Amino acid sequence: MSLWEYANPKKFMETTGWLLPWLTALTALTLGGGLVWGFFLTPDADRFGSTVKILYVHVPSAFIAINAWVMMLVTSLIWLVRRHHVSVLAARAAAPVGMVMTLIALFTGAVWGQPMWGTWWAWDPRLTAFLILFLFYLGYLALWAAIENPDTAADLTSVLCLVGSVFAFLSRYAVYFWAQGLHQGASLSVDRAQHVADVYAYPLWLTMAGFVFLFLTLVFVRTRTEIRARRLSALVARERKAA
């Protein structure tokens, strides 16, 4: 029993097919529960009023936006090294999810920033880094869409993902050097003191888990779609050859 068994599309389809209903239910439970808890059962904060509740969407979506790219980096590497198709299809499946999460984080940040900072947008390091991350997602998806041969596209997007990761990392430190920020530091942390009062932190952890499950569910569904699309195009190609 090893992880690489799931590189077999058939095995992957079987396992995820069995896993998906449970994962969906878990997502609904944690995300729904966390959001209801956060939105309706916590008090308004002193200085922030009810805008504090944007936190429950903003923080998890930003967390997923970054980690979706990390996941794409890992799966792209696996594709380049071991040539498992499921791996690169998972990277392709994660990209739009990550991009939408980036947009959600930017949008909720703007909605929060307007009453709190008095501006929708500032060239703050964190905001800028997210805008650049959004451009990376956009370029990655555009490259996938532009190339017809699926294996060529997989190779080129994987190389882009590797090089892009280095530059995304570099950009993150470059923008910190370039501008002083309005954005506060990390809200949640496993090993350091909390910056968020417990009454807000517990539902936040729950929505974080909910977003992680949501991400997994969406990536599995999209990867399954990609695998089926591959099978379909293989069948069509075979028919055409036979005819």
171 lies in the binding site for other proteins (CB under 8 A): yes
Question: Pick from 17, 18, 167, 229: which binds other proteins (CB under 8 A)?
Answer: 167
164 lies in the binding site for other proteins (CB under 8 A): yes
181 lies in the binding site for other proteins (CB under 8 A): no
77 lies in the binding site for other proteins (CB under 8 A): no
- In DSSP notation, 178-236 reads H----S---S--SSS--SS-HHHHHHHHHHHHHHHHHHHHHHHHHHHHHHHHHHHHHHH
Question: Pick from 114, 119, 152, 189: which binds other proteins (CB under 8 A)?
Answer: 152
How is residue 194 written in tokens? 């909390």
Closer residue to other proteins in complex, CB, 33/172? 172
- How many Å separate Cα 203 from the centre of its chain? 20
Q: State the Cα–Cα distance between residues 236 and 35, nearest whole angstrom.
A: 45
60 lies in the binding site for other proteins (CB under 8 A): no
Q: State the Cα–Cα distance between residues 65 and 78, nearest whole angstrom.
A: 20
40 lies in the binding site for other proteins (CB under 8 A): no
204 lies in the binding site for other proteins (CB under 8 A): no
- Angle, CA 67 vertex, CA 79 and CA 164 arms, to 5°: 60
159 lies in the binding site for other proteins (CB under 8 A): yes
What's 49's DSSP letter?
B
Closer residue to other proteins in complex, CB, 160/182? 160
Q: Write down the least CB distance from residue 120 to other proteins, Å.
A: 21
Residues 110-149 that bind other proteins (CB under 8 A): 132, 135-136, 138-139, 142-143, 146-147
| Number of Cβ atoms within 10 Å of the Cβ of 82 | 10
Residues near other proteins, by CB under 8 A: 132, 135-136, 138-139, 142-143, 146-147, 152, 155-156, 159-160, 162-164, 167-168, 170-171, 174-175, 177-178
